[in-house]
Structure 1
Amino acid sequence: MSSTTPTPPPPFPEDPASDGSLTERRKAQTRLHIARTAAALFVRNGLRATRAEDIAHAAGVAPRTFYRYFPTKEEAIGPLYALGARRWVDAVRTAPAGTPLPRVLEEAARYALTPGRGVSEESWNWVRTLIRLAADNPALGRVWAEACRAADRHLAEALAHRLTGGAPPPPDADVAARSRLCFAASVAGAAVRTAMESWAAGDGPAEGPDGPAELAAANLSALRDFPWDAVVGEP
């Protein structure tokens, strides 16, 4: 394996740590730098041929530093998976007030999954490879699955925030209402996840009717008649 530092995937979203202490921001930047380096090596050389020590060397950190951030080489990709999911959840959270939720979900998916709207076309080729690797490797698949589960939890919080006008749900909110909220978030998350996985399994472009954005929007149409008014308790 070449010792040359690999070119990182071109512009994936940048470090999410915009708040917190300087130390926390630096740690987040290091995590993302290692993740980008791992992605470059996995795409270039394959998962099996890449060792944690190779990632550490290419990232310019000591192996012990790598293991301080990530227990395994597969988990080094987690921050990139999480960043992609966060873009869609953030788009849901920041959509204009009063917009119907089905429209919010569909437009957020189009924003997060359309090449050129924060993530370049070239980066989508990297995304395809990383999702394919997750499908073929159980350890990496678990990292992808956990990123998706975390995204569902964050999406449920974003939906609750919109449904309550920014107020936290009451502590004694109906259990059935909370269950419906989590169910809706899981269905919406699955709509996006299956769109991305279906697109990644083929060789088509990231734009157009068979791209992840339009596939996800079509999947999300299943939630247009969902009883949103019933998914949170009375404030």
Structure 2
Amino acid sequence: MPIGRPSLTERRKAETRLDVARAAVGLFVAKGVAATSAEEIAAAAGISARTLWRYFPTKDSCVMPLLTGAIELAADCLRSWRDEDGIPELIEVMRQPGRLTIDRASMLDLVRLTRTEPGLRAVWLEAHRQAEPVFAEALARRGGLHAPDLTATVHAAMINAALRAAVEHYAFQADPDTEVEAAVSEALLIAARGFPR
């Protein structure tokens, strides 16, 4: 993992990818995935179709930056979570000002689309598959390990599943007066309690 702040070029590329992801979700919500062309996504993001294809291998994959950004934020919170602290303290780390700067509206629109769009569902599940080793590495470092052991790997899987389930529950069923962070907090506490007896 690179140390230090990304270069200006890398930050601009990341911003462009995120602009594409937001544009893609907006168009997918308005028109549907099948009725949206890559050229339309590129135009809405202010780039050429050729540039879009340099960044993304498929139309569905254009949404991935919305997911990877949220996953990196979660991993950063896990890295900041002190070894002696429990789940309530992790939740406090996640709620610190400036931590959760993701585009919630676009991400929740995307998650809602995963219910009816198999290609987007595949991207959503792939993002979580990629998240698990990142979470395991963060938990291993938290525990002073050089590499994840089985405990860190299982805990990473539990956290990953709790985050996915919480966001899906919120997107599909939650009371609009609640906050997604409340669903995430509740899911993490449920995971920490373990299996019912």
- TM-score by length of structure 1 reads 0.70
Cα distance in 1 for partners of 2:59, 2:33 equals 9
The superposition leaves residues 71-120 of structure 1 with CA deviations (integer Å, 9 ceiling, x where unpaired) of 1111000001111222222122123x3542433433345x28x9x97448
The answer as to whether partners of 2:132 and 2:156 remain within 8 angstroms in 1 is: yes
The answer as to whether partners of 2:38 and 2:59 remain within 8 angstroms in 1 is: yes
Instruction: Please state how far the C-alpha of 1:140 moved relative to its aligned partner.
Output: 0.9
The superposition leaves residues 35-83 of structure 1 with CA deviations (integer Å, 9 ceiling, x where unpaired) of 2221222233332321111011222222111111111111000001111
**Which fold has the larger relative contact order, with Cα–Cα distance below 8 Å and residues 6 or more apart in sequence?**
1
Going from structure 1 to structure 2, the CA distance change for 1:20 and 1:117 (only over 3 Å counts) comes to closer
- Gap runs ≥5 in structure 2: none
Partner residue of 2:87?
A: 102
Going from structure 1 to structure 2, the CA distance change for 1:182 and 1:71 (only over 3 Å counts) comes to same
Q: Which amino acid aligns with 2:16?
A: T
Partner residue of 2:171?
A: 200
Cα distance in 1 for partners of 2:182, 2:7 equals 39
Partner residue of 2:139?
A: 159
Cα distance in 2 for partners of 1:147, 1:180 equals 22
Partner residue of 1:3?
A: none
Cα distance in 2 for partners of 1:98, 1:182 equals 16
The answer as to whether partners of 2:128 and 2:160 remain within 8 angstroms in 1 is: yes
Going from structure 1 to structure 2, the CA distance change for 1:216 and 1:21 (only over 3 Å counts) comes to closer
Q: CA RMSD in A?
A: 2.8
Q: Which amino acid aligns with 2:107?
A: V
- Gap runs ≥5 in structure 1: 1-17, 171-176, 227-235
Instruction: Please state how far the C-alpha of 1:205 moved relative to its aligned partner.
Output: 1.7
Equivalent positions of 1:147-226 (< 5 A) are: 147-164=127-144, 168-169=145-146, 178-202=149-173, 204-205=175-176, 207=178, 211-224=179-192
Partner residue of 2:52?
A: 66
Higher relative helix content? 2
The answer as to whether partners of 2:136 and 2:153 remain within 8 angstroms in 1 is: yes
Query: Which stretch has the larger CA shift, 185-194 or 58-67?
Result: 58-67
Partner residue of 1:233?
A: none
Aligned length: 191
The answer as to whether partners of 2:22 and 2:106 remain within 8 angstroms in 1 is: no
- Identity score, percent: 36
